[in-house]
Amino acid sequence: MLDLLIRDAKVVDGTGNPGYTAHVGVKEGKIALISRSDDLPEAARTIEARGLVLAPGFVDMHTHTEYTILCHNHGITSLKAGVTTEVMGMCGYSIFPVNETIRQEAHARMAGLSQVSQSEVGEIDWRDLAGWLDKVEHVGTGINVLQYAGHGGIRAYVMGKEGEGGEKVIPAKEQLDKMKDVVLQCMEQGAFGLSSGLNYAPGRNAITEELIELGKVVSSFGGSYISHIRSEDEHLAWSCSELIDICRHTGMRGSVTHHKAFGKENWGKVHHTTYLIDQAREDGVDVMCDFYPWEYAAESNIGTSFYTDFELSRRDSAELRGWLTDEASWQSLKTRLKQTGAKEALATTERSRQLAAHGVLASAGGRRQDSTFIVHAPAYPELCGLSIREATRGLGFADDTLEACRKLYLDNDGYCYVAGGKIWEQDLRHLVRYSRSAISTDSWTMERAPDLARPGMSSHPRAYGSFARVLGQYSRDESLITLEDAVRKMTSLPASFIGLRKRGLIQEGYWADITLFNPENVANLATFDNPFVYPAGINYVIVNGEVAVDDGRPQYTKSGKVLRFER
């Protein structure tokens, strides 16, 4: 007897091959049967799926879910998007091994991204990757999760952060050996590979040779490398070449993650980078990319945009992030902005003085005001789509950006969003069509979608609508790629790159991670104006054989697994 029988679905199996109508049976968490015959075994439950596509559950190649999974462990926002497996530990961040600095930073980031207090996060009581994975397993998870080791975090663990020695370009021999030991330990404990963030501190301080040395350790296990490369604008092509070199010298598979070219001067460069990737592949270097299909790289509350030049990855980033997401801080900013001008409001506390020194006061004359756009301002709908500079003039403030931002912040009661890092629609379409690109969100799982971002909270529609947008808009409506190819980019392509065992395809004996969606109406509904909206048309999501989204309704199951890399 089957646990579950899904009848008359159009099976799009993840290979990219044409879909076909069949019945799919699930038993003990695995796909037990794929049949076109109506002579079927009994099943405890049957789902009639005529008109629905049955695909492998989507794999999100780039998340920061390690910061939210303890507090949001049912993974509802991911499941509602059709995602069943998430890659954690991207951009070089690492929450292991733990020392005092990493403990504090992890605690603050977890509270900030999870939107809870630090005490609600609980103790950071793991010491290494093994302990961390055990912890997640103990809490339980609604989605499958897996972990990469973060180069930046490991560098900071061994060498200290910037200002503590981490700014060294070349580690001493003992330091490099220590880093290799840590990477080795992570790989032994189940990491799938190494991630890096080479435009963040301290990853940006590492030269290519350091990454090659660490990569050799990863490669000896058969692991892979996912990199937020050094530059996504001016030096994009060079940065892709660096990733290719690292993979060429180590034998690691590599992905240029959240691939994009932002800033008008750089639009079109993804044609060059995908050419570089293709050339490398012809030479036998196994590289690819992943991307999120959105026209801006970042969205934030206009309050945080005061500080966009201030680097969140500096030494005191934990403190800053806590401050940015703390309601009381925002209320006090609002009060100060009401009582005084913007400059004076920013200068009232030591913290604010630091922010002001690195933030908008420094950048007010810079090009950011031309490359940051208003996307949500209920009090001024006519300003939406305008740059900060244009909006400043529109409000009659001439060149006083700071006062314009103050007015926008107050008149919208703190609910004014801006977006920056403009990406060219034609580049997105190129990446959709490019055969070696997977889909990712660069986001993190949550228990529910909030109504609207509160001040200080990170927001971007990519968390909700990335997969549905490719299926609905780019595949169905614009016919840029076939449905089958779109599904391949979300399933077998990332699964085989990462090295997932028996996931990413609809095949007998594979784990029953399944997403059933309606190809007629699957659609992204999230926008920069209102980012927290679930996609339409994702009807059922099954994780390891259990129905986690049932006719659109989340079931709060915890049938996800903590995956560990097997050589």
- Interface ranges with Zn ion (CB under 5 A): 91, 228
Shortest distance, position 2 Cβ to Zn ion, whole Å: 42
Q: Which is nearer to Zn ion, 228 or 407 (CB)?
A: 228
Residue 405 contacts residue 369 (beta carbons within 8 Å): no
Residue 128 contacts residue 98 (beta carbons within 8 Å): yes
4-11 and 53-56 strand pairing = parallel
Shortest distance, position 523 Cβ to Zn ion, whole Å: 27
Shortest distance, position 228 Cβ to Zn ion, whole Å: 3
Residue 126 contacts residue 137 (beta carbons within 8 Å): no
Shortest distance, position 64 Cβ to Zn ion, whole Å: 9
Taking the C-alpha atoms of residue 136 and residue 124, their distance in angstroms, rounded to an integer, is 12
What residue has token string 């951009």? 91
Residue 236 contacts residue 399 (beta carbons within 8 Å): no
Q: Which is nearer to Zn ion, 93 or 192 (CB)?
A: 93
Taking the C-alpha atoms of residue 50 and residue 23, their distance in angstroms, rounded to an integer, is 10
Q: Which is nearer to Zn ion, 107 or 228 (CB)?
A: 228
Provide the phi-psi class of 552: left if phi over 0, else alpha when psi is between -120 and 50, else beta.
Answer: left
Residue 25 contacts residue 40 (beta carbons within 8 Å): yes
Taking the C-alpha atoms of residue 296 and residue 419, their distance in angstroms, rounded to an integer, is 6
Shortest distance, position 545 Cβ to Zn ion, whole Å: 33
Shortest distance, position 226 Cβ to Zn ion, whole Å: 10
Write the CA distances from 112 to 213, 233, 247, 266, 330, integer angstroms: 34, 28, 34, 32, 14
Provide the phi-psi class of 73: left if phi over 0, else alpha when psi is between -120 and 50, else beta.
Answer: alpha
Shortest distance, position 197 Cβ to Zn ion, whole Å: 6
Helix (H) or strand (E) holding 334, with range, is helix 327-339
224-228 and 437-439 strand pairing = unpaired
Which candidate, 413, 503, 495, 468, places its Cα nearest to that of 87?
495
Partners of 85 in the β-ladder: 59, 144
Q: Which is nearer to Zn ion, 91 or 483 (CB)?
A: 91
Q: Which is nearer to Zn ion, 3 or 232 (CB)?
A: 232
Q: Which is nearer to Zn ion, 296 or 511 (CB)?
A: 296
**CB-based contacts of 117: which residues, under 8 Å, 6+ apart?**
111
Shortest distance, position 438 Cβ to Zn ion, whole Å: 15
Q: Which is nearer to Zn ion, 221 or 262 (CB)?
A: 262
**What are the backbone angles phi and psi of residue 523, rounded to the nearest 5°?**
-160, 145
Taking the C-alpha atoms of residue 150 and residue 23, their distance in angstroms, rounded to an integer, is 42
Taking the C-alpha atoms of residue 77 and residue 139, their distance in angstroms, rounded to an integer, is 18
Q: Which is nearer to Zn ion, 412 or 441 (CB)?
A: 441
Shortest distance, position 258 Cβ to Zn ion, whole Å: 6
Helix (H) or strand (E) holding 554, with range, is strand 553-554
Taking the C-alpha atoms of residue 101 and residue 221, their distance in angstroms, rounded to an integer, is 29
Which candidate, 463, 417, 419, 465, places its Cα nearest to that of 442?
463
Q: Which is nearer to Zn ion, 49 or 91 (CB)?
A: 91
Q: Which is nearer to Zn ion, 150 or 531 (CB)?
A: 150
Q: Which is nearer to Zn ion, 152 or 504 (CB)?
A: 152
Taking the C-alpha atoms of residue 357 and residue 406, their distance in angstroms, rounded to an integer, is 17
Shortest distance, position 251 Cβ to Zn ion, whole Å: 24
**What are the backbone angles phi and psi of residue 557, rounded to the nearest 5°?**
-80, 160
Helix (H) or strand (E) holding 330, with range, is helix 327-339
Shortest distance, position 31 Cβ to Zn ion, whole Å: 34
Q: Which is nearer to Zn ion, 229 or 498 (CB)?
A: 229
Shortest distance, position 320 Cβ to Zn ion, whole Å: 17
Q: Which is nearer to Zn ion, 73 or 147 (CB)?
A: 147
Shortest distance, position 151 Cβ to Zn ion, whole Å: 12
**What's the count of helices (H) and strands (E) in the chain, helices before strands?**
22, 21
